[in-house]
Amino acid sequence: MAEAFKFELVSPERLLVSEEVQSVVIPGAEGEMTVLAKHAPVMTTIKPGVVTVKSASGQEERYVVFGGFADILPSGCTLLAESATSVKDIDRAELTRRIQEAREDVADAKDDEAKTRAEAFLAQLTTLEGALLPA
Amino acid sequence: MASLKDLRNRIASVKATQKITKAMQMVAAAKLRRAQEAAEAARPYSQRMGAVLANITQAVGSNGDGPALMTGTGKDDVHLLVVCTAERGLCGGFNSQISRLARDHARKLQAEGKTVKIITVGKKGYDILRRDFSALIVDRIELRDVKTIGFANADAIARKVITLFNQGGFDVCTLFYSEFKSVISQIPTAQQIIPAAAPAEAEGEGAGGAVYEYEPEPGEILSDLIPRNISVQIFRALLENAAGEMGAKMSAMDNATRNAGDMINRLTITYNRQRQAQITKELIEIISGAEAL
């Protein structure tokens, strides 16, 4: 059995998860990463996606996060999510609304840089939608 | 002198008022508990945010300067005051305390020859500040329809502030709110959010000097982090305010209930005295009538 470490998932409204886990899969800005115990210290922003938490007892929980960042230390991992919900309670209307907003952002973007950023965000959201909806 | 009937009516009306204030007090107590829970639930996020921010500023500080939101524009000519108050009155001096602090601050800045702009959050703050600074209020946000304050509300305010900053609308932004100390004590507080005061060294369980890897570059993370931090600060202020408002309302209504009780007692004594006086008067009339026969 893999060594356990402390994982915390925090959203501005509340502390969602605080427990000992075996591994966490984080949708990092530059690619997904799996965090195990004694990971080198990394700080990364995260893109909208699914966080998979494998708890010490071997159970898997999945959470949807919309951006934020992760602070990884050898002793534990803290995920500060802008908004986070369990996959079970994800509201499709909410997701659709966010995608709609992202589309508007793309349309409103004034300069190229902002536009690229908005488009990337939209792409991440649609990928997320694709990953979730058939489920 | 008021007649017996007047006094009876008066007592009945004060009793009705007392019932209302009593009910408001209980409602405030229930809401206070919820607001306190919300404020507590939000605490871990802002704490961690602070720790992470401290870490990363250390990393960035060593190689060049951070984003403008952090370092400021290099001037302090135009000040933006974000004044957060409650939506409703009947909560003692809660709203006026915050407004007074903001007003004194604005006067001081004006005396120094600086330009002041004001954004009010909450109806009461607008009502109070409108009297003196109606020309300075650039925007007002009402949260009247919002049942429970969510992060989205704070985020919307933060976005407005940041947009204004990016347009060069102001140099320094200060947030006014009331810090919730306890049910009977709320401290009006001014907090500078732009440029962000450099957070103190990470405390306690920080990285312990560990060398972080950053993904993407620290500067990029920081420019993502700072706006988010502003949202978090505003969110925290709103939650503290919500708890403070309910606390203030609870003690104000408690006082009102007690005052109504005192008033009822006084009125009842007057009523009884008058009733006695009238009975005595009637007796005297009967007796003297009987004697005259």
At residue B201, the pLDDT reads 45
End residue of a domain, out of A71, A87, A103:
A87
**Taking the domains of chain B in order of start, what are their residue ranges?**
4-23+253-281, 29-201+214-252
Nearest one of B13, B23, B29 to B260, comparing CA atoms: B13
Torsion of CA B256, B257, B261, B263, to 10 degrees: 20
Residue found by looking up tokens 């203030």 in the block: B248
Predicted confidence (pLDDT) at residue A7 exceeds the cutoff of 80: yes
Predicted confidence (pLDDT) at residue A135 exceeds the cutoff of 70: no
Domain B4-23+253-281: homologous superfamily in CATH: ATP synthase, gamma subunit, helix hairpin domain (1.10.287.80)
Predicted confidence (pLDDT) at residue B63 exceeds the cutoff of 60: no
For residue B64, the distance in angstroms to the closest alpha carbon of chain A comes to 19
Nearest one of A39, A44, A33, A41 to A69, comparing CA atoms: A44
Asked which of A12-16, A31-35, A122-126, B120-124 is least confident by mean pLDDT, the reply is A122-126
For residue B275, what are its two tokens?
Answer: 């009733």
Same domain, yes or no: A55 and A75:
yes
Report the DSSP beta bridge partners of residue A21. A5, A55
- CB < 8 Å from A in window 227-256 of B: 228, 231-232, 235
At residue A120, the pLDDT reads 74
Q: Report how far apart the first and last C-alpha atoms of chain B are (Å, whole number).
A: 33
DSSP for residue B202: P
Put simply, the answer to whether B212 touches A41 (Cβ < 8 Å) is yes
At residue A50, the pLDDT reads 86
Same domain, yes or no: A20 and A75:
yes
Mean pLDDT of B13-19: 96
H or E element that contains A44: strand A42-46
Same domain, yes or no: A96 and A108:
yes
Predicted confidence (pLDDT) at residue B208 exceeds the cutoff of 70: no
| CATH number of the domain encompassing residue A72 | 2.60.15.10
For residue B151, the distance in angstroms to the closest alpha carbon of chain A comes to 6
CATH architecture assignment, domain B29-201+214-252: 3-Layer(aba) Sandwich (3.40)
Whether A134 has its CB under 8 Å from any CB of chain B: the answer is no
Query: Distance between CA atoms of B47 and B206, rounded to whole angstroms?
Result: 12
Contacts of A120 in chain B (CB under 8 A): none
Of A14, A41, A71, the CB nearest to B41: A14
Asked whether A70 and B216 are in contact (CB, 8 A), the reply is no
Highest average pLDDT, of A11-15, A92-96, A100-104, B26-30, comes from: B26-30
Report the DSSP beta bridge partners of residue B137. B118
Give the C-alpha distances (Å, rounded to integers) separating A101 from A95, A106, A122, B58, B89: 10, 9, 9, 35, 36
- Band (pLDDT 50/70/90 cuts) for residue B213 is confident
Residue-number span of the structural domain to which A31 is assigned: 5-87
Amino acid identity of residue A20, one-letter, is: E
**B33 SS3 class:** helix
Using one digit for the tens of pLDDT, what is the confidence trace for B158-183?
Answer: 988 988 888 888 888 999 999 888 88
At residue B151, the pLDDT reads 85
The neighbour count for residue A108, using CB atoms within 10 Å, is 10
Positive or negative, the Cα torsion across B39, B40, B41, B45?
A: positive
